[in-house]
Chains A and B, each alone.
Chain A
Amino acid sequence: MELRKNYFADVRKDDLHEVGQPRPRSDSPGHVTGKTAFFADRNFPGMLHLKMVRSPHHHARIRSIDTSEAEKHPGVVKVLTAKDVPHNVYTILILIQIGPEDETVLADGKVRWKGEAVVAVLAETERAAQEAAAKVKVDYEVLPAVFDMEEALKPGAPLVNEYHGQNYYLYDSGECRKVRFGDVEAGFAGADHILEQSYQSSPIEHAPTETTGCVVAPEGNDRFTCYTNTQAMFFTLDNTSIILQMPGSKLHFVGGTVGGGFGGKVDVIVEPIAILGAKLTGRPVSFIYSREEEMQISSPRAAEKVVIKDGVMKDGRIVARKVTGYTDAGAYSRHSPYGAQKGAGHYPGPYTIPNVWIDTYCVYTNRTPSSAMRGFGVTISDFALEVQMDKLARLIGMDPLEFRFINAYRDGDMKAHRQPTEGAALIECMQEASRAANWPVAEKYMAMSSYKKGA
């Protein structure tokens, strides 16, 4: 990799010892020799296997649960239902005061998505756990479900999640996250052209090569070691502590080795119930998603819908942008209110637009809860707004890269969130991109700089 030192030569430090230097990765010798210990490489004598009984319905009331046959199945040691979980209703971001708690560890009275955990079976072997799980009888009353965000927002739509009371997340700013800057209607009124387009995406599964799971070993004296592939150690530790009503000092988490995650292992799903199983049986417990579970149950990237309306001048300046974004959280919040909020921050793009109006909604439906994935909340925004940029350029007959040079933010520009731009390098990145992609732009753009001297 070449480090271009001609950019920002007068402000750059040149005594860096790390940037631009290759360094061997400390974990790869373990990887290439097969010595790296992933969580499932821990094996304890007497370890139990946990299998989950899951909802076959998208939305249903649970009339009754009968675990008697499962309990009698040879090899079964313990069967857990909602009443065994000390603090059964939780939400991950409660740790940073983002509530309400809206999700059950094991379903209690109702299921809100197909695949929701209802009963946990612990048995001597994986096979016994599977067979016993098949013997759990749950009597469901199927309820109408909603799978489409626009349907979910209509009056009279089935209520997905009672803990919210309506099918959207209520922010402190109201039913959506808002950005208001300038006067967007005046901007449209003065624009040479207006372009309104909608964009939408489907959920995307991370499909890590190692499936989600953990192995728990009771240490005696009420302390538990949990080997886990969580990507969010302290989210997991603290939420487990709340769910199990146990002080964190009783919980020893060992992680840091993750066989692929991409955001998919940020939720707190396997650890609390596995530790509870170990606590109630006094034995080590292994809870590992099968590949099928990983693909069906783990939280995907949210489906999103975006409507972007831009006002643009013939000379290439964008003068107004209005965006409405919808994020499909599925049945529970997890990280989605945050994802939708990030979208609100992101829709102006790296462009200086004088009039901006943005609303982003986090919507509940009876679909698999979505959550973190690689830039969630901004990746789909970027897709939408960069496609929109190309369309705008085409509309006014301008080269799409030159169009971006005209609108790119530069140091000192005011962003829609009322933060002045600092340390921008977009112009320089686009100059390099234009060279690398062999996409020539007019000389005046190659002479531009993000760093406005004296600004």
Chain B
Amino acid sequence: MAKVPVQFTLNGSEKAEFIDSGTTLLNALRDKIGDTSPKGGCHQGTCGACSVIIDGELRLSCLTLAETCNGTTITTTSGLSESGVLHPLQRAFLDTFATQCGFCTPGMIMAAKVLLDHTPNPSRDEVVEALSGNICRCTGYEPIIQAVLLAARANSQNAA
């Protein structure tokens, strides 16, 4: 299988890898680079557990070929907390008991981050819409929605 070189910035650090052509970004991140925070729940674009942020946009890493990510900037959940300080979204997920098994959590946080980056004060409907591509089988969603709204409130208080 042909190997292709790929270079991108992952959570602030440069990565350069030779990968098999056709490898998904999800597998490249998890198996090659060792960032296992994106999870593989379906490998077919339906669960959202593998969500990452590429150049500011929410992407499903199981449906993204690693070789198409050359020169991009990628953020995963493991890159959110700086020197041990939790990101407001991470804090809010903790405080509202928005995690149960935790398998969907990294993908949820990525989807929520893109929403808050674009819409700092979302309505409840906007939160629901933004999370609609992410499946959680444990929480019943309500605590997750509350977490995102709580993080948004924290944001606007900081800004004020």
Contact = CB atoms under 8 A, between A and B. Distances in A.
A34 B80 CA distance: 9
Interface stretch (A37-45, A175-183, A238-246, A354-362): A37-45
Given A28-B93, A32-B109, A260 B31 contact: no
A27 B102 contact: yes
B41 A209 contact: yes
A34 B100 CA distance: 13
B153 interface: no
A290 B46 CA distance: 13
B99 A210 contact: no
Contact of B101 (A37, A40, A211, A259): A259
Given A24-B94, A209-B136, A40 B104 contact: no
A210 B34 CA distance: 19
B80 A260 contact: no
A291 B99 contact: no
Interface in B84-141: 86, 89-90, 93-94, 97, 99-106, 109, 135-138
Q: Give the interface size class of chain B.
A: 35 or more
Contacts of A43: 30-31, 34
11 contacts: A32-B99, A32-B102, A32-B105, A41-B36, A43-B31, A209-B101, A209-B104, A209-B138, A210-B101, A258-B101, A260-B100
A30 interface: yes
A97 B116 CA distance: 56
Q: Which 5 A-B pairs have the closest CB atoms?
A: A34-B37, A31-B102, A259-B103, A34-B77, A41-B36
Nearest to A259: B103
A69 B4 CA distance: 31
Nearest to A24: B94
A37 B34 CA distance: 12
B103 A28 contact: no
A261 B138 CA distance: 9
B41 A211 contact: yes
A33 B137 contact: no
Nearest to B87: A32
Nearest to B36: A41
B94 to A, nearest CB: 5
Task: Provide the main secondary structure of the chain B interface.
Answer: loop
B145 interface: no
Interface of A: 24-25, 27-38, 40-41, 43, 206-211, 258-262, 290-291
Contact of B42 (A29, A30, A291): A291
Given A38-B39, A207-B137, A33 B103 contact: no
Nearest to B80: A33
A34 B36 contact: yes
Contacts of A260: 100-101, 103, 137-138
A32 B37 contact: no
A194 B49 CA distance: 52
Contacts of B138: 209, 260
A403 B2 CA distance: 73
B86 A33 contact: yes
A209 B135 contact: yes
A30 B106 CA distance: 10
A259 B44 CA distance: 18
Interface string B24-63: 0000001100111111111110110100000000000000
Nearest to A33: B81
B44 A33 contact: no
Contacts of B137: 206-209, 260, 262
A363 to B, nearest CB: 29
A37 B102 CA distance: 10
